[in-house]
Chain A
Amino acid sequence: MLEINHVYKTFNKGTVNEKKALTDLNLKLEDEDFVTVIGGNGAGKSTMLNMVAGVYPIDAGKIMIDGTDVSLMPEYKRAHFMGRVFQDPMMGTAAGMEIQENLSMALRRGKRRGLRWGITKQERERYYEELKRLGLGLEERMSSKVGLLSGGQRQALTLLMATLQKPRLLLLDEHTAALDPRTAKKVLDLTKEIVEEQKLTALMVTHNMKDAIQIGNRLIMMHDGHIIYDVKGEEKKNLQVADLLAKFEAASGEEFANDRMLLS
């Protein structure tokens, strides 16, 4: 359903800060693929997700979603296809607006916005039920400003927002990295639950190798702006963290320098 063909992206081209973030990136996702993405810092994982979401224009190549070429489609139009959760819990929600208002914005993702009321009574009832399943007590605080919530609460809310209107593609960029271990586990469990329940196609960047192996049906490793390892099914299930480290060293000719990954 998602096809990334020979995509290149260089930031600050022609300056001393020139940085090749993506070099000949290719990836093809099938429906209901749940792909975990790993790779060292600066490997291009976030850039790949940003290119798919249309945050920046690509330099070359093509991105197709369901057979539609979206390479030149602006970010707000591509939002029709995807739900997104970011590493920074501040990024996915509007702090100055109420919890229910944030949800009402999310419910209208990909829909034409007009002069109808921004939130209706039936919607509120649905939000109450959806918030309840997060188990964070947010359903009793629906008219509180999101700015009053903790990072973990905001991230759980963002996840709910990203999937409130079933997305064709769910993009998760280290969405538990900024949370404490307990909250991170909670948000990750919730992620698995929702992806399974809605049968979503998802790309999840993580720095936790064990999670990357256990979660989803496919795993890709990125290095220097492209994919160096792509594994799925049984083969993926049987992977060990040590295998991944070996793969990385073989492909890159370097020691795996990312201590965050070694620790996890």
Chain B
Amino acid sequence: MGILLAIQGAVSQGVLWGIMALGVYMTYRVLDIADLTVDGSFALGGSICATMITMGMNPWLSLVVAIAAGAAAGAVTGFLHTKCDIPAILAGILTQIGLYSVNLRIMGRSNTPLLKLDTMFKQLAALTGLPAAWVSLITGVVFCAGLITLLYCFFGTEIGSAIRATGSNEHMVRSLGANTNFTKVLGLMLGNGLIALSGALVTQSQGYADIKMGTGAIVIGLASIIIGEVLFSGKKRMAFGTKLFAVILGSVIYRIIVAMVLQMGLNTDDLKLLTAILVAVALAIPVAIEKQRQLQSYKASLGKGDDGHAGN
């Protein structure tokens, strides 16, 4: 029973954090930019949401404001990267560090609990009569389904196509008349908007915002993306919508893995190390396989003697 509950909790966490992973996917995979704003924009969404709720404002409105603030954070990184020619990784780190102070300013302290306050999950639970755990899970699934649909449609539009093309060959995109500075900034805004939304949802679900809630979010996002890709690695052609779905699924699996290793007695403090190792290994494996393949084919050519290369 404990396991089942733990898994249900993991799934609903996975879905809500999955939106963050979708945001990372926008920059890391679609734009091919390593954006480290993530940790800051996730906590930004949480800080704004918690502060607005403690001020007695509508928790749904706080989601909208969180998205806008996340998009603004993405725009700052985009400005530093495209207009000031700062490498993307550094631009993201600068925004992320800056956001740490911004988030502290917003909350006025490092942790904001929402104990007795009205979150959207509590509202929905009261409305439907369902237990809190289910409400959080169902809401998360509905949000993910809606977002995947919206993103799928958006990336089918002219602007959306230009953003995707920027990640594939930005030189070509400019030669075909699209402003790649604009598409990059837009992609970064979209990604960080999603990430802040996720931060706001997670805050309401767990009942508090913390200044450190975003620490390591980028690595969790990468882990989700990679797990999702491994799950579907058998498929040669994947529709864009399926790829997005795979990211959410990857996030859920990640949370289930985490829940299981915690059940098995792993210390929570060691979780980040475990995640980092997981991502590092997942990134290293394809490289190792490729090197091995290269070596094997070279060795095979040696075996064939002098005309081993004559096939060309």
Contact = CB atoms under 8 A, between A and B. Distances in A.
User: Chain A interface secondary structure, helix, strand, loop or mixed?
Assistant: loop
A119 to B, nearest CB: 8
A243 to B, nearest CB: 35
Nearest to B175: A84
A180 B238 CA distance: 33
B215 interface: no
23 contacts: A74-B179, A76-B174, A76-B178, A90-B169, A91-B169, A92-B172, A94-B169, A95-B169, A96-B167, A97-B164, A101-B161, A102-B165, A104-B161, A105-B178, A108-B158, A108-B177, A113-B159, A113-B162, A114-B158, A114-B159, A115-B157, A115-B159, A118-B161
Contacts of A93: 169, 172
B167 A113 contact: no
B165 A117 contact: no
A108 B178 CA distance: 9
B171 to A, nearest CB: 6
Interface in B161-190: 161-162, 164-165, 167-169, 171-180
A20 interface: no
Interface pairs A-B: 4 shortest CB-CB? A79-B177, A118-B161, A96-B168, A94-B168
Nearest to A115: B157
B283 to A, nearest CB: 19
Nearest to B161: A118
A53 B175 contact: yes
Q: Which of B154, B162, B169, B173 counts the most A-chain CB atoms under 10 A from its CB?
A: B169
Nearest to B160: A118
A109 interface: yes
Given A75-B174, A76-B173, A76-B177, 19 more contacts: A53-B175, A75-B175, A84-B175, A94-B165, A94-B169, A94-B172, A96-B164, A97-B164, A97-B165, A101-B161, A102-B165, A111-B177, A113-B158, A113-B162, A115-B157, A117-B157, A117-B158, A118-B158, A118-B161
Q: Which of B160, B172, B173 counts the most A-chain CB atoms under 10 A from its CB?
A: B172
User: Chain B interface secondary structure, helix, strand, loop or mixed?
Assistant: helix
B28 to A, nearest CB: 14
B176 A108 contact: yes
B175 A118 contact: no
B157 A116 contact: yes
Interface string A115-134: 11111000000000000000
A75 B179 CA distance: 9
A69 B284 CA distance: 51
B238 to A, nearest CB: 11
B157 A105 contact: no
Interface string B220-244: 0000000000000000000000000
Given A97-B164, A105-B165, A113-B178, A91 B172 contact: yes
B156 interface: yes
Contacts of B174: 75-76, 79
A232 interface: no
Interface of B: 154, 156-162, 164-165, 167-169, 171-180
Nearest to B154: A115
Interface string A63-102: 0000000000011110110001000001111111100011
Contact of B168 (A75, A92, A95): A95
A117 B177 contact: no
Contacts of A94: 165, 168-169, 172-173
A151 interface: no
B67 to A, nearest CB: 18
A238 B112 CA distance: 85
Contacts of A119: 156, 161
A178 to B, nearest CB: 16
A140 to B, nearest CB: 16
A91 B171 contact: yes
A105 B176 contact: yes
A76 B178 CA distance: 5
Given A77-B177, A109-B177, A118 B172 contact: no
A106 B168 contact: no
A110 interface: yes
Contacts of A161: 176
A180 to B, nearest CB: 12
Nearest to B182: A76
A117 to B, nearest CB: 6
Nearest to B183: A113
A75 B154 CA distance: 26
A186 B169 CA distance: 25
Nearest to A80: B177
Given A108-B176, A108-B177, A118 B157 contact: yes
